[in-house]
Amino acid sequence: MRTVLGDARFSLAEATVRDVPRLTPQRQGAILTDQDPPDHTRLRRLVAKAFTARRVEQLRGHAEQITRELLDEMVEAGPPADLAGALAVPLPGLMICELIGVPYADRDRFRDWVGAWMSVTALTPEERGEHLAQLAGYLAGLAAQRRRNPTGDLLGALVIASDEGDRLTEDEVVQLTMLILAAGYESTASQIVNFTHALLTHPGQLALLRSRPGLLPGAVEELMRWVPLLAVADVLPRYALADVELSGGTVRAGEPVLLAKHAANRDRRRYEDPHRLDLTRDAQGQLGFGHGIHHCLGAQLARMDIQTALAALLDRFPDLRAAVPEAELTWKTGMAVRGPVAFPIAW
């Protein structure tokens, strides 16, 4: 798996010009995530500085403040509370919107548009296309505002890059912003709910984490390994540009390889007893965020959001528990990401 993800002889861009297995009737290649160098390198370099570990750590205090305020509101309303609506969605939403420069106050306008990005069959092709077109129009309007009144956020930086020569086109500015907003919003929100659910259904591991809070960073890595985010394998296959020897045989030039990172995260050759959740396990190197040049750009921000949310929940609520039986949970359907639609909790 790591060989394919990190080897330049496997191309993602090639999948955009072939009739490959896909999740929707339309070809839905996305800027950055379906490109090879040098195009991928050029675009990633422009946005990577906003997601460095140092920059993300500078945001941690703000994330902790937002989390305290969200939990205060949850406590004031009283149990039960929907963890998704009360914390898991607004925390990463506020953080990614602030980093990009998208007004979170507009969330009622763009939340459904963002969700359409992750739709497989939840929306019709026509509905999905309409939502994404509306999101693109909205972001194009924000970019036009930045052109008139420059700002120091990521969107402002991308607009400057588009205005200072041919480094970015206007469409690239919109498409990059759309990708970062959608991925940073929906994915992290789903995993905050999924990880809390995993802990509550593994009370021994939950008790261990409560007794040893220093385990939290490593616990998030183990949860990333153990809990798959995607309901499907990678959306696009990689195509071999040359004959490549893998452990299972030879992939000939022009042949595709479909990846399943969640399966690799349960590989017995890498992890002892891989189907067991073990928060003391060294899960560094798990592939939940990918590997190689397409390693998730926002991985550090996602880690920080998740660590902040879990730490606050465990500290604030010693008796945190699910408020409904497992059988009453409704799980997402027709979406690329998995998780409960809502997760009622009590304390």
**Residue 253 host element (H or E):** none
Task: Tell me the angle at which helices 170-182 and 39-48 cross, rounded to the nearest 10 degrees.
Answer: 60
Report the C-alpha gap between 203 and 200 in whole angstroms: 6
Bridge partners (DSSP) listed for residue 10? 240
E-strand spans in 212-290?
238-240, 244-246, 249-251, 256-257
Q: Structurally, how many domains does the chain consist of?
A: 1
**What phi-psi label fits residue 5: left (phi over 0), alpha (psi between -120 and 50 degrees) or beta?**
alpha
Q: The domain spanning residue 97 has which CATH number? A: 1.10.630.10
Phi first, then psi: what are they for 270, rounded to 5°? -105, -35
Its pTM stands at 0.91
Residue 130 has which token pair? 């309409």
Bridge partners (DSSP) listed for residue 153? none
Of 15, 5, 18, 7, whose CA–CA distance to 35 is shortest? Answer: 15
The identity of residue 101, as a single letter, is G
Cβ-based neighbour number of residue 295 at 10 Å = 13
* Terminal CA-CA length for the chain: 41
Report the C-alpha gap between 21 and 1 in whole angstroms: 19
Cα–Cα distances (Å) from 106 to 129, 151, 174, 325, in that order, read 20, 18, 17, 34
E-strand spans in the chain?
10-11, 81-82, 238-240, 244-246, 249-251, 256-257, 321-322, 344-346
Report the C-alpha gap between 310 and 313 in whole angstroms: 5
Tokens 């490593």 -> residue: 218
The pLDDT tens digits along the chain (347 residues) read 788 888 889 988 887 787 766 666 665 556 777 788 888 888 888 888 778 888 888 899 999 999 999 999 999 999 999 999 999 999 999 999 999 999 989 988 888 898 888 888 888 989 999 999 999 999 999 999 999 999 989 999 888 887 665 577 888 889 889 888 888 888 999 999 999 999 999 999 999 999 999 999 999 999 999 998 887 655 668 899 999 998 878 999 999 888 888 888 999 999 999 999 999 999 999 999 988 888 888 899 999 999 999 999 999 999 999 999 999 999 999 888 899 999 999 99
Cα–Cα distances (Å) from 307 to 81, 301, 311, in that order, read 20, 10, 6
Domain that holds residue 327: 2-346
